[in-house]
Amino acid sequence: MDFDISDEQRRFQGVVRSFVDDAIRPNVEAWDRSHELPMDAVRQMAELGLFGLPFPEEFGGSGSDFLTLCLAIEEIARVDSSLAITLEAAVGLGSMPVYRFGSESQRKELLPELAAGEALAAFGLTEPGGGSDAGATRTRARQDGGEWVINGSKSFITNSGTPITKFVTITAITGEVDGNKEITAIVVPNGTRGFEVGKAYRKMGWHHSDTHELAFSDCRVPLDNQLGERGQGFRNFLEILDDGRIAIAALAVGLAQGCLDESVKYVHERTAFGRPIGSFQALQFKIADMATKVELARTMYYKAAWLKEKESPYKKEAAMAKLYASEIAVDVAREAVQVHGGYGYIEEFDVCRHFRDSKILEIGEGTSEIMRILIARSLGLPEA
């Protein structure tokens, strides 16, 4: 057994950490207040090659692997969850479906720009009427000559309205097979007539991540924009979500680690009753628990990524990693605020933002309930 990341991964982790300290940490509070994706930061992340990490060089990537992407996401999330989810959604949800399910010409045409971080893509599965029940898709695409005609809407779509968003891949009903909906994935370029990006949501956290509602009315795209096989849209997206869950676990671990680091620092500095508060056993125990949870969550996402890398089944482990990491992230953030006392409730303190940013982790890319359903199912429990 070997629990170590490679020397190269460790070096790259160090590079991302210094980038985060130099370029992100000093600005994160202002960005959070602005509620706008800082495009300069996105450009710098692109220059670092972050958006192309897991893709082969022939598509403009750097030929690393999924774990390396997760390591980068974790490093960014120690400080800035909004930029971490921007990266996660861009690579994991925007580019990955093209890489995994696209035709050779789609990959050649679409991937290089995405891998270079010059353009972003989004992934539209959730609808106003349902996210967990992804089969509840209502958006329809009907064939008309050489085109798909799309009608419907999507909610909460990350990266769908940035100045460099190139397209959104959506799921739509394209027919019926044996009484079941046939769901197909279709690439819809931003700017297509009939495709409207709604105004940005006001969110509890992830303030400077870009999230919009999308509306399609008689929106026409060429039939060639179909991504993957007809009728496989749903299955393919579920596969993409398995990977996404490992990446969300990495993001959650980063947030929790950031909370732990801030707490350890603070209990040295702050005094009460004539002693550093870190000398009180009540806080020592809290911090020991935080550290234990962070370590366990990290070990689990490493394991899920490792299983994926060696092409073993990892669906259950990905769900466990996502479930555990997102729930401990919320716990650790809440306790970090507690350790900071009143200052923890004030926006100048990182843990305040981390607490707001943590909650979505139990919801996005599959809620905790859905994770438990998947895990229970993998144990062969009777279905409802």
Partner 1 sequence: MNIVVCVKHIPDPNLPPEMDGTRLKREGVQGVLDPGDEFGVEAGLQLKEQHGGEVTLVSMGPPAAREAITRGLSMGADKGILVSDDALQNADALVTARVLAAAIKRAEFDLVIAGVESTDGYTGTMPATLAEFLDVPMITFVKELENAEGNLKVDRQTADGYHVVEAPLPALITVTAGVNEPRYASFKGIMAAKKKPVDELSLADLGLSGDDVASKQTVKELSPAEERKAGEVVEDDGTAAEKIADFLAEAKVI
* Among candidate residues 207, 136, 139, the one with its CA nearest the CA of residue 169: 139
Residues 6-25 contacting partner 1, CB under 8 A: 8, 11-12, 15, 18-19
Q: Assess 123 for contact with ligand FAD (CB under 6 A).
A: yes
Contact 183, 234 (CB under 8 A): yes
Which residues are registered as beta bridge partners of 195? 216
Q: Decide which of ligand FAD, partner 1, none touches 11; Cβ closer than 5 to 8 Å per partner kind.
A: partner 1
Residue that has been written with the tokens 């006392």 in this structure: 341
- Kindly tell me which residue out of 56, 130, 175, 189 binds ligand FAD, with binding defined by CB under 6 A: 130
Q: Assess 27 for contact with partner 1 (CB under 8 A).
A: no
Q: Decide which of ligand FAD, partner 1, none touches 12; Cβ closer than 5 to 8 Å per partner kind.
A: partner 1
Contact 165, 122 (CB under 8 A): yes
Only segment of 26-34, 265-273, 324-332, 368-376 that touches ligand FAD (CB under 6 A) = 368-376
- Kindly tell me which residue out of 206, 301, 306, 349 binds ligand FAD, with binding defined by CB under 6 A: 206
* Among candidate residues 171, 181, 140, 188, the one with its CA nearest the CA of residue 240: 171
Nearer to ligand FAD, 57 or 133 (CB): 133
d(CA 318, CA 70): 13
The nearest distance, CB 281 to ligand FAD, in angstroms, is 36
Nearer to partner 1, 8 or 133 (CB): 8
Residues 47-76 contacting partner 1, CB under 8 A: 47-49, 53, 57, 62-64, 68
Helices (H), the chain: 7-19, 28-34, 39-47, 66-77, 81-88, 96-101, 104-115, 233-269, 281-309, 315-339, 350-358, 368-378
d(CA 210, CA 37): 6
d(CA 151, CA 196): 11
Q: Decide which of ligand FAD, partner 1, none touches 48; Cβ closer than 5 to 8 Å per partner kind.
A: partner 1
d(CA 129, CA 223): 26
Q: Decide which of partner 1, ligand FAD, none touches 19; Cβ closer than 5 to 8 Å per partner kind.
A: partner 1
Catalytic-labelled residue, pool 311, 365, 369, 383: 365
Interacting residues of 361 by C-beta distance below 8 A, sequence separation 6+: 248, 251, 252, 255, 325, 326, 329, 330
Q: Assess 271 for contact with partner 1 (CB under 8 A).
A: no
Q: Is 104 a catalytic residue?
A: no
Only segment of 31-39, 67-75, 332-340, 364-372 that touches ligand FAD (CB under 6 A) = 364-372
Q: How many residues does the chain have?
A: 384
Binding site for ligand FAD (CB under 6 A): 89, 93, 122-126, 130-133, 156-158, 203, 206, 211, 360, 363-367, 369-370, 373
Residues in contact with partner 1 by the rule CB under 8 A:
8, 11-12, 15, 18-19, 47-49, 53, 57, 62-64, 68
**Catalytic residue list:** 365
